[in-house]
Amino acid sequence: MPSLQAGYAPNLGVFLKSLKTAPLESSIENLISLLKRRQIRNSRPCAIATAHLLLRVVAKFRWTDIGNLLERIQEVGQRLVEAQPREMVVGNIVRRVLGMIRDEAKEDRTEDASDSTSTSQLGSPGRERSESGSFRTEGGAPTFSPLRFASTDASTLSEASGDDVFGGRSQPTSRPPLLTSHTSYAVLNGVPVQQSMFNLLSATPTPSSTPPHASSPHGKSTISATTLAQRIATTTRDLKAEVISGIEEIIDELDQVDDQIAAYAQEHIHSNEVILTHSSSLSVQKFLLKAAEKRRFTVIVAESYPNDHEATHAAVTGKVSQDLEGDEMSTETFLKPLSAAGITVILMTDATIFAIMSRVNKVILATHAVIANGGLIAAAGARIIAKAAKVHRTPVIVVSGIYKLSPEYPFEFESLIEYGDPGNIIGYGEGGLVEHMEVDNPVYDYVPPDLVDLYITNLGAHAPSYLYRIVADHYKPEDINFHKPELQF
């Protein structure tokens, strides 16, 4: 195993370092084994590792066709997801990258298509590009922009009207010309294009929509054959650069997400509040620290005993425990404990939650993953907290980066729950007990959406019922089941 050869305690930092030098395939294997052994765990490290790995995959992969690239990323993504299906962020990042590549490719095609149709339309793709480009920098993520749809439609419409003049075979709603150059090229070389449902539907009317100035399909292909090779060479290089910068944007987003979330803190916390939080989370800590700059309040921390209590205690006292140091803290700036920021911090056990809930004004939870229905997966115990808050009519706020938002909708929530080491509950020293009884130690809880009042993400605050819309914004429907080929179209 590559990680063993390396000879140091493997974690995220080591992995990222080795990524620069190690061959790609061994890096992939390395990450898979790290995920399997839980040496990289929790959402953020997993997301960062996945994004960096995919960056390498894109940079190393020699591809001639966008379909090849998508296939390759799907294949890598599938292996990663299978390695640790419960780290849902891995799949999320892969989907984000896939969606981003699709967007880039589509832009590219629009450009090609408008190139070949008329010179008068040249202005349109350029403008569209700048618009979409600016949109991306604002949103921090490539999305289906309504603007882009509009401009695409405009170009097809104008082309259709050109068709009208010649053959009258207009299909105002179709977007076929977008694909002409690529499809013809693919057919020419006998390379099958990875086709989604969208592509299939739009590709069928290809012959009817070949540009009018070509007298026959044969004529078209011969013409392109001479120019295409060189054109594709240039476009793929452009595309590659754009895909890489797209992934880098995702990595940047992962770095900044907590600060972006924290920016909303002061809108939600007022003076003299009593805030209950659970376990230890960098996002929540930054959120509260930001609020503490302006206001004084009290934070009650429930320790999340058998699994995360050490991290919680370390976070509360400001001492970094060994395993955390490598994993999460080394690259990040060291966070001062909340108590150092002038907030009164009260550490309590999980069992006390009901007793103190009557004094709590707000509950702020961190998450492991958020599901499209508005529910979330969080450290075990979160569900009881949310329930107790509901009983006491205390609002529950969930702080989460968009990258944790997963489009998967599992129908059986138990499948999302991971069970941890029962040795944390009853040590193996107590052999008599261990042998004769079942010990249960779930690591995660599923919190249904009706127990959550508000989600605060890096894009703002949302009601749980609105999350499906954000999912739709961030992932392409054809990518949702990328890791399950049997469910793909």
Partner 1 sequence: MPSSDSPTAEPSPAEAPAQGKGNAAKQPKGKEAAAPAEGSKLSGAELKKQAKAEKAARRAQALLEKGASAPAAAPTPGQQPKVDGQKGPKGQRQHQRGSSTSVEVKNLPVRGAQKTVPVPVAVEPKKEDKTVEFFRHLYKTRTTSIAGASKDVHPAVLALGLQMSNYTICGSCARLVATLQAFKRVIESYTTPPQNSLSRHLTSHVLSPQIEYLSSCRPLSISMGNAIRWLKLEVSKVDVSVPDAEAKKGLCDAIDVFIRERVTFADQVIARSAADKIKDGDVIMTYAKSSIVQRALVKAHEEGKKFRVIIVDSRPLHEGKHLAAALVRIGMDVKYCLINGLSHNIQDVTKVLLGAHAMMSNGRLFSRIGTALVAMEANEADKPVIVLCETIKFTERVALDSIVHNEIAPADELVIPGGPLEQWGDIKKLQLCNPMYDVTPADYIQMIITESGNVPPTSVPVLHRLGNESQG
Residues lying near partner 1 in the complex (CB under 8 A): 298, 303-307, 309-310, 313-314, 316-319, 321, 337, 339-340, 342-356, 358-359, 379-381, 383-384, 387-388, 391, 414, 417, 425-426, 430, 432-433, 436-442, 445
Residue type, 149: F
Tell the smallest beta-carbon distance from residue 133 to partner 1 (Å).
46
In the bound state with partner 1, the residue whose beta carbon lies nearer, of 233 and 351, is 351
Contacts of 107 (CB under 8 A, 6+ apart): 125, 128, 129, 132, 148
Tell the smallest beta-carbon distance from residue 279 to partner 1 (Å).
10
Largest Cα span, the chain: 89
Tell the smallest beta-carbon distance from residue 465 to partner 1 (Å).
21
In the bound state with partner 1, the residue whose beta carbon lies nearer, of 157 and 439, is 439
In the bound state with partner 1, the residue whose beta carbon lies nearer, of 85 and 442, is 442
In the bound state with partner 1, the residue whose beta carbon lies nearer, of 43 and 279, is 279
Tell the smallest beta-carbon distance from residue 316 to partner 1 (Å).
6
Q: Give the span between the Cα atoms of 444 and 417, in whole angstroms.
A: 5
Q: Degrees (nearest 5) of the Cα angle 47, 49, 50?
A: 65
Beta carbons of 240 and 58 less than 8 angstroms apart: yes
Residue 485 to residues 75, 127, 192, 480, Cα–Cα distance (Å)? 10, 37, 17, 11
In the bound state with partner 1, the residue whose beta carbon lies nearer, of 318 and 460, is 318
Q: What kind and span of H or E run contains 363?
A: strand 362-366
Q: Give the span between the Cα atoms of 318 and 345, in whole angstroms.
A: 12
Tell the smallest beta-carbon distance from residue 84 to partner 1 (Å).
21
Tell the smallest beta-carbon distance from residue 408 to partner 1 (Å).
20
Q: Give the span between the Cα atoms of 485 and 79, in whole angstroms.
A: 12
Phi-psi region of 38 (alpha: psi -120 to 50; beta: other; left: phi over 0): left
Tell the smallest beta-carbon distance from residue 354 to partner 1 (Å).
4
In the bound state with partner 1, the residue whose beta carbon lies nearer, of 373 and 441, is 441
In the bound state with partner 1, the residue whose beta carbon lies nearer, of 179 and 416, is 416
In the bound state with partner 1, the residue whose beta carbon lies nearer, of 359 and 469, is 359
In the bound state with partner 1, the residue whose beta carbon lies nearer, of 142 and 381, is 381
In the three-class reduction of DSSP (H, G, I as helix; E, B as strand; rest coil), residue 402 is classed as helix
Tell the smallest beta-carbon distance from residue 241 to partner 1 (Å).
46
Tell the smallest beta-carbon distance from residue 414 to partner 1 (Å).
8
Q: Give the span between the Cα atoms of 72 and 60, in whole angstroms.
A: 11
Tell the smallest beta-carbon distance from residue 284 to partner 1 (Å).
17
Tell the smallest beta-carbon distance from residue 306 to partner 1 (Å).
5
Q: For the stretch 15-54, what's the b/e string if a residue is b when 16 or more beta carbons lie within 10 angstroms of its beta carbon?
A: beebbeebeeeebbbbbbbbbeeebbbbbbbbbbbbbbbb
Neighbouring C-alpha atoms within 13 Å toward the C-beta of 471: 23
Beta carbons of 172 and 160 less than 8 angstroms apart: yes
Residue in this structure with the two tokens 């009601």, named with its chain if needed: 463
In the bound state with partner 1, the residue whose beta carbon lies nearer, of 66 and 353, is 353
Q: What are phi and psi of 350, to 5 degrees?
A: -65, -30
Neighbouring C-alpha atoms within 13 Å toward the C-beta of 152: 21
In the bound state with partner 1, the residue whose beta carbon lies nearer, of 141 and 345, is 345
Residue in this structure with the two tokens 């959406």, named with its chain if needed: 449
Helices 123-139 & 88-117, crossing angle to 10 degrees?
A: 160
In the bound state with partner 1, the residue whose beta carbon lies nearer, of 49 and 289, is 289
- Which residues does residue 371 pair with via DSSP β-bridges, in sequence order? 406
Question: DSSP readout, 72-89?
Answer: HHHHHHHHHHHH-TT-HH
Q: Give the span between the Cα atoms of 424 and 405, in whole angstroms.
A: 29
Provide the 10 A C-beta neighbour count for residue 173.
8
Tell the smallest beta-carbon distance from residue 375 to partner 1 (Å).
13
